[in-house]
Amino acid sequence: MSTGEIARLGGVGRAAVSNWRRRHDDFPEPVAGTASSPRFALSEVEAWLRRNGRSYRLSPADLAWQWLRPRGDDLHLTSRLADVGDHLLHENRALRPELRRALDELVEAVGPAAAFEELCTRLRGVLRSRTEPSEETALAMARIALPRPGTLLDPACGTGGLLLTAAPRRAIGCCADPALARIATARLQLAGIDGQVHAVDALRDGPPDRLADGAVCDPPGDRSHTAARLVGDRRFAYGLPPRSEPELAWLQHCLAAVVPGGTVVVRMPAPAADRRAGRRIRANLLRSGALRAVLTVADGDLWVLRRPAPDAEPPSSVLMARGSAEEVVARWSAFLAGREITGDARVVPVVELLDDAVDIAPERRLPRVPGPDPAAAYAELQARRPQVAEVPQLIPLAERRDLPTATVAELSRSGAVRARTASAGTVLGEGDIAVLTVADLATGSRPTGRTTPSRALVRTRPGDVVASPMGRVRVAEERAVLGPGLVAYRVDPERIDAEFLAGVLRCSPAAAGSGSARYGQRARVPLLPLTEQRRYGKAFRELQDAADAARAAAERAEELQRIGGVGLVEGWLVPGPED
């Protein structure tokens, strides 16, 4: 038993079990596992609980699991659980008698399907597999992929969770692990679903013999496939998937595995929407009309695709939406029916997406998710601010002002901005050349780094906008060299105000937690006349100055506290006279 299972057995928390181990010399010693994940013998734990007068309850599921996982032997755990599935379906006499009796008791309590689900849930905890889609997301994927009764395919189904949640008329799955394939088949059949999971690696096995009406997939992210192995495969008509983009291989396999007009829903990682390596495939999916929607839900992006019918005219638009699973399904249905789409969604023309980046992330096309009222929050903070610096007067509007925007990348192509990235070979250390570092951007200090001369150095001059991947942005006030990880934007002063651009980059949603030096290229800059840019830039600079002054005041207060406290303790200072 693990410490978590002991806690459940005794009806206590994990911390209580840790205390028992620490305070009681007679607590059982681990019999398996590791130092960080020890395993204990059930009989010894039961004896200790009885000896110490502690009540416990061993449920039928606990007992069956302990017989299924003797001494924490996990090497063949999936095979043993698959044998249990066979037993529940076909009365497998090869099981140990003790395990059969425990299973009979569990089945009598909850039924065969629920009994097997209980054991499968515990298996997932042991395997610590990647996070599966939530039940709400799985239902949304199924409703979009198979709106009418039919055959649903999952070519990388694992233990069959997506197919089980969808409950189609007929389910077809594939899993490279034979034991997991047997488990998935048992789950489907115990739930009354006409389903079969084949023990094959669908990506390497080639095109399927039978086409499904729809497909769902949560790609495993396995990067072991090689482009050479996939060359000439008719499934990859949209482009040979690079090794760094395994999800695009699974996506194309699904498209080849459904009937013309069939729908495919794939849960994709958010970076797949704009990674450079997948740009050509994304463009081909858009041009052909295969990609119909990108829907953002709580646990990922859902790419909705349809296999183009022969000689059909490619659609001219794509749905971008975000919200709960139920909301995005409703918006997809409205999009298909040609009805008005309400809420956080937009129908985007395909030609708008076919630029140099082919960025299909909904967050770039939809309005920023509103948080607390910015005007009220600003007024409250202004009322409570320390009196250390003036802050600009910002006037709240009755309605949000909808401003046209362009990305920094688009401004770069027009010549309004020129971006330069610090050389990867810039090494900080000794030398006579001043280097602007990320820390300098955070504090507003003069360049503190030093380096030696090199032809690869990127130099800045006053007026350049310098940014770090985490959203630290300032306008340079003196000449220096860019430190590692920094980007400098040199603006055309007749078109872009430097302080305005710095403020936009500093507050861009893409900066928060991005960690990527490319975030600035995707930041959207409001297109304002230069005179208005300067007004905004002045306000941005005053906000930055107020933050710098507040930080400096806080640092002085910390230093006063430290020095004053030491002086009082060591006898160098005494309290002043009372009033």
How far apart CA 115 and CA 117 sit, in angstroms, is 5
Instruction: Dump pLDDT digits (tens) for 374-405.
Output: 666 656 655 665 555 577 888 888 777 888 88
DSSP 446: P
Give me the DSSP letters along 276-344. Answer: GGGHHHHHHHHHHT-EEEEEEETTEEEEEEEPPPTTPPPPSEEEEEES-HHHHHHHHHHHHHTPPPPSS
Pairing outcome for strands 433-436 and 480-482? parallel
Burial class (CB in 10 A: 0-12, 13-18, 19+), 522: buried
The owner of tokens 């233990």 is 159
Residue 515's pLDDT band (boundaries 50, 70, 90)?
very low
Rg of the chain over Cα atoms, rounded to whole angstroms, equals 31
Report the pLDDT value the prediction gives residue 384, as an integer from 0 to 100: 60
Residue 156's pLDDT band (boundaries 50, 70, 90)?
very high
DSSP 37: S
How far apart CA 513 and CA 263 sit, in angstroms, is 34
Q: Compute the average pLDDT of residues 102-122.
A: 89
Residue-range domains of the chain with CATH:
3-127 (no CATH), 135-365 (3.40.50.150), 401-551 (3.90.220.20)
- Classify the C-alpha dihedral 334-337-340-345 as positive or negative: positive
Report the pLDDT value the prediction gives residue 381, as an integer from 0 to 100: 59
DSSP 148: S
Instruction: Find the range with the poorest average confidence among 66-75, 265-274, 483-492.
Output: 66-75
- Residue 65's Cβ-side half-sphere holds a number of Cα atoms within 13 Å equal to 25
How far apart CA 45 and CA 11 sit, in angstroms, is 14
Give me the DSSP letters along 227-292. Answer: HHHHTT-GGGTT-PPPTT-HHHHHHHHHHHTEEEEEEEEEEE-GGGGT-GGGHHHHHHHHHHT-EE
DSSP 187: H
**Backbone phi, psi, residue 327, to 5°:** -65, -40
Residue 58's pLDDT band (boundaries 50, 70, 90)?
confident
Query: Would you mind telling me the total number of residues written for the chain in this entry?
Result: 579
Residue 514's pLDDT band (boundaries 50, 70, 90)?
very low
C-alpha 372, offset from chain centre = 24
Residue 471's pLDDT band (boundaries 50, 70, 90)?
confident
244: which 2 tokens? 């760094």
Give me the DSSP letters along 115-130. Answer: HHHHHHHHHHHHHTPP
How far apart CA 87 and CA 95 sit, in angstroms, is 8
Count CB neighbours of 493 within 10 A. 10
Q: Compute the average pLDDT of residues 471-492.
A: 90
* Residue 90 neighbours by CB under 8 Å, 6+ apart: none
C-alpha 126, offset from chain centre = 23
